[in-house]
Structure 1
């Protein structure tokens, strides 16, 4: 019997990232303007219910992104000219195929190691969530629907099973660029990402059912190795899957170029 996919990922956003997102949103919305002082450490601690260490980590991330600067003994202020948006924060619609392929190369290294760690550290609830994502992928595949979201969730749950929040944060950032996902107001049956056809991470061209079946088998091999606690096999299975995904994306793009 298939397990239903959880409504929310098992792991929540990290505490520093919650503070980063909250302050960033105010800057981008204009609630905090260039030159304005960011709320004090005690103020942010109370607002987000976090420690001073968490607030300082969040401020370090905001400084690294070029949104704010800290003046010793004075406070933290919004910069007059924010730095360009970091590559990992670029949405899928703004990333060239060349960049997506480069990001997939990074994912090969990152997620192969994540799968290895997940095989050693995973708990039963992680296996349940991975199994649910696989069942949802298979159900969507058989129904001819989009498998993009369950594909993404399967990879997120592996990252969560490492117990290292940074694997999950980096994967989610890369995933936003390499896995087109539906906009919140998109029609339920609308294609994920751009309306123009393109390669989806982990999938062949949408019309090729056989490509999704291959992806399902690759996912099952990864899951089986993690379930058995076989770190070497999990690493190898993830390496093969992501390498194949990269080639599927490249082949899909080449096919689209030749048909134009």
Structure 2
């Protein structure tokens, strides 16, 4: 047994220290920039959905180069914390704090049936549990906000013949946010691009998602009634329609391959 109390010198007499090891830096420049960005977001009171200042403004505020700011925002984008919209700017997707733990996700890629089903299995668990917590914790103001997002989604669905992916996303994001658990929102934000593959006519299903439309309203009704059991059931029904669409698409592709 080595005597740790006598410090590293005593330890070094027994072992040769690997030259790869080096003194730990308390904070890298990248981390310092990210922390400064977090402080800026907090000081400005920015919330998910708000637009960040331009890279030039942030660079001037932080006293760093625009390249450094761009790299920091790219890191946030990879973690699902911000979204860059061409011609519009960079928007905050999730709440950020100095003590948050960054958890990069390794996600299945591709638009094939198996990858989409893997995605759906994760979404099923997230949607069901978030719906339960939302129904248990939503305030009157929260319910009014979710209903507003629902109405916008319904209007877009009817006006654009079912093409309401962005509005649908905003509705679900409002439910996740109201769950009261920030991890739900952060995980769903990190999976944004993957979930949106469902709206790109996966497997050739042109009316994809149409069957799920009425369950958004019934899900909201259960949340508004503070009915967590009902909210879970409606969330699962919604996801079940998506699974049916995927299976229908896979069957169509299989038929096409045989002809």
Q: Count matched residues.
A: 176
The Cα of 1:173 is off from its aligned counterpart by 2.5
Specify the SS of the correspondent of 2:191.
Answer: helix
- For structure 2, the 5+ residue unaligned runs are 1-26, 43-95
> Which residues in structure 2 correspond to 1:94-113 (within 5 Å)?
94-113=110-129
> Which residues in structure 2 correspond to 1:140-159 (within 5 Å)?
140-143=156-159, 144=161, 146-159=163-176
- State the Cα RMSD in Å: 3.1
The Cα of 1:100 is off from its aligned counterpart by 1.6
The CA deviation string for residues 194-249 of structure 1, in whole angstroms up to 9 with x for no partner, is: xxx4259xxxx3347xx62x322111111000000011111111112112211212
Higher relative contact order (Cα pairs below 8 Å, separated by 6+ residues): 1
**TM-score of the pair, normalised by structure 2:** 0.57
User: What residue is the counterpart of 2:229 in the other structure?
Assistant: 232
User: What residue is the counterpart of 1:164 in the other structure?
Assistant: 181
The CA deviation string for residues 162-181 of structure 1, in whole angstroms up to 9 with x for no partner, is: 11110111122334202239
The Cα of 1:136 is off from its aligned counterpart by 2.4
Could you tell me whether the CA contact under 8 Å between 2:38 and 2:98 is conserved in 1? no
Could you tell me whether the CA contact under 8 Å between 1:117 and 1:231 is conserved in 2? yes
Could you tell me whether the CA contact under 8 Å between 1:215 and 1:241 is conserved in 2? yes
User: What residue is the counterpart of 1:137 in the other structure?
Assistant: 153
Specify the SS of the correspondent of 1:163.
Answer: coil
Could you tell me whether the CA contact under 8 Å between 2:149 and 2:167 is conserved in 1? yes
Partners of 1:129 and 1:255 in 2: how far apart?
A: 39
Partners of 1:199 and 1:124 in 2: how far apart?
A: 40
**2:38 equivalent to 1:39:** no
- For structure 1, the 5+ residue unaligned runs are 1-36, 66-85, 182-191
Greater displacement, 230-239 / 166-175: 166-175
User: What residue is the counterpart of 1:219 in the other structure?
Assistant: 216
Could you tell me whether the CA contact under 8 Å between 2:120 and 2:243 is conserved in 1? yes
The Cα of 1:142 is off from its aligned counterpart by 2.0
CA gap 1:57/1:221 in 2 versus in 1, 3 angstroms = closer
